[in-house]
């Protein structure tokens, strides 16, 4: 009789170890999934910060009223900036990196490019989408 009690206790311990192992495996998979999502979101925030910094850098550059298409790229960055000047005196600053593109509307006044205070956009502000692409 003592022998049977030992076997049932051993079976119960093994069952508890098996259940604990399954629970730990499930928790490990959840943790791996959360870590991947956090890293992906972190990278997205870095790309967004990079493109907003590049937009501000490009906005502060001394753009010329001619030629109608000009491009600059800050040293050591992946973002590229181009300014398109249209015949009616309006202009569009396009800043893009590997993940996103931002636009900012401007006007050419007194041979200077002046950016509109509320002219930035994260979608193409023009009807013709081809004009919103980097050359």
Q: In this predicted model, which residue has the larger pLDDT, 65 or 84? A: 84
pLDDT of residue 20: 94
Distance CA 34, CA 113 (A): 46
pLDDT of residue 4: 57
pLDDT of residue 3: 53
The pair of three-digit structure tokens given for residue 54, joined into one six-digit string: 């590049």
Average pLDDT over residues 68-86: 88
pLDDT digits (tens, 9 = 90+) for 88-127: 999 999 999 888 899 999 999 998 999 999 888 888 898 8
pLDDT of residue 5: 60
- End-to-end, the C-alpha distance of the chain in Å comes to 87
CB neighbour burial string for 61-88, b if at least 16 within 10 angstroms, e if fewer: eebebeeeebeeeeeeeebbbbbbbeee
Q: What are the CA-CA distances from residue 99 to residues 35, 46, 49, 50, 89 (Å)? A: 21, 10, 11, 10, 30
Round the average pLDDT of the chain to a whole number and report it.
89
Distance CA 36, CA 32 (A): 6
pLDDT of residue 2: 53
Average pLDDT over residues 73-81: 84
pLDDT digits (tens, 9 = 90+) for 23-64: 999 999 999 999 999 999 999 899 889 999 999 999 999 998
């Amino acid at each position: 009789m003592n022998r049977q009690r030992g076997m049932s206790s051993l079976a119960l311990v093994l069952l508890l170890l098996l259940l604990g192992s399954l629970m730990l495996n499930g928790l490990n998979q959840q943790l791996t999934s959360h870590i991947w999502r956090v890293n992906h979101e972190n990278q997205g925030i870095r790309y967004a910060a990079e493109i907003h910094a590049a937009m501000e850098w490009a906005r502060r550059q001394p753009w010329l009223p001619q030629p109608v298409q000009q491009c600059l790229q800050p040293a050591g960055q992946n973002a590229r900036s181009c300014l398109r000047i249209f015949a009616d005196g309006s202009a569009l600053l396009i800043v893009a990196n590997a993940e996103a593109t931002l636009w900012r509307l401007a006007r050419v006044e007194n041979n200077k490019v002046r950016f509109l205070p509320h002219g930035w956009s994260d979608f193409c502000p023009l009807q013709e989408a081809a004009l919103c692409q980097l050359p």
